[in-house]
Amino acid sequence: MDLYSYFYSLVKQIPPGRVSTYGALARALGDIRALRACGVMLSQNPDAPRIPCHRVVMSDGSLGGFTHPEGVKKKIERLRAEGVSVENGKVVDFHEILFEDFHTDYPLKALREEQEKLKERVKLEDDFSLGAVGGVDVSYSGRWAYGVLVIMSSPFEVDMVVRGKFRVDFPYIPTYLAFREEPIISSLLSRFDRELILLVDGNGIMHPRFFGLASHVGVKNDVPTIGVAKSQLLGSVVEDKVFVNSRHVGYFVKSGRKRGIYVSPGHRVSLETSLEIVRQYLKHKNPEPLRLAHIYANEFRRSG
């Protein structure tokens, strides 16, 4: 889904002489968790002032930032040209001119519902032939994503490296990472025609909806996947096992003195096997296919 275009269509609905807020736009998208993403998308506005980002302010009427060579000064100038008074860095009569009546289909709500349907297809039993193991990572620069898939037949042998550069249509929003990265990962997977077990830089069932990026990628592509995350998104760790509401969803694997990774099955792999495979490929903090994919993705991004 192109959430950027949808978001900019919402911003265009704010009439001259009115203002709206980052929070109101996030709610119009369908989830207040998109608040920070709204700020990011406004900062990347491709067509100002036709997309009137100057009409978006903070929830208390203060102006917030403005991506323009003249900064907030230009924001004030544009607002005043439309009849909006600004004094001491705040919109005068803010609540009287506040616009929140967006025409919207609440796309994030629809995406949550899609995930709820997809997660019913997750399998947590081993359903694969052990062969190649892949690791995938994505590095970003503005609206561009640089994805790399590394395929290995052993912890010491790289068989293939697949790279791809993609235009980003979905910003980072907490718990919606799959809708940002799954299309990129799926495109990389389509260039490899043999079965593999895929390690994903993200969570499997260790997720608020028990359906993180690894599970999403696995179900959408019908491939066995394992989530490997650098931080604990939720749950509690008891003797290296991670539990969410008494449900065992993954493992904490120590690597180094204090650091570690969080492993959870995504799709077509059991809890125990996900841990076993990650440990087989663990020479550093991250399993080798993911570690190399991360390095190669950053190199790819820097090379443009």
Confidence (pLDDT) at 280: 92
10 SS3 class: helix
Is 269 in contact with 263 (CB distance < 8 Å)? Answer: no
Contact by Cβ (8 Å): 148, 161:
yes
One pLDDT digit (tens) per residue for the chain, 304 residues? 899 999 999 999 999 999 999 999 999 999 999 999 999 999 999 998 899 999 999 999 999 887 776 778 889 999 999 999 999 889 999 999 999 999 999 999 999 999 999 999 999 999 998 789 999 999 999 999 999 999 998 888 899 999 999 999 999 998 899 999 999 999 999 988 888 999 999 999 999 889 999 999 999 999 999 999 988 888 888 889 999 988 999 999 987 666 789 999 999 999 999 999 999 998 888 999 999 999 999 999 999 7
Q: What is the pLDDT of residue 79?
A: 94
Contacts of 201 (CB under 8 A, 6+ apart): 135, 136, 137, 138, 213, 228, 229, 230, 290, 293, 294
- Burial grade of 194 (CB within 10 A; 0-12, 13-18, 19 or more): exposed
Its CATH class, for the domain covering 122-303, is: alpha beta
Annotated catalytic sites, by residue? 53
Burial 220-235 (b: 16+ CB within 10 A, else e): bbebbbbbbbeebbeb
Q: What is the CATH number of domain 3-105?
A: 1.10.10.10
d(CA 7, CA 38): 8
pLDDT at 60: 92
State whether residue 261 is helix, strand or coil. strand
Residues in the chain: 304
Instruction: Give the domain ranges of the chain.
Output: 3-105, 122-303
Tell me whether domains 3-105 and 122-303 share a fold: no
pTM of the model: 0.87
Write out 20-41 in H/E/C secondary structure: EEHHHHHHHHCCHHHHHHHHHH
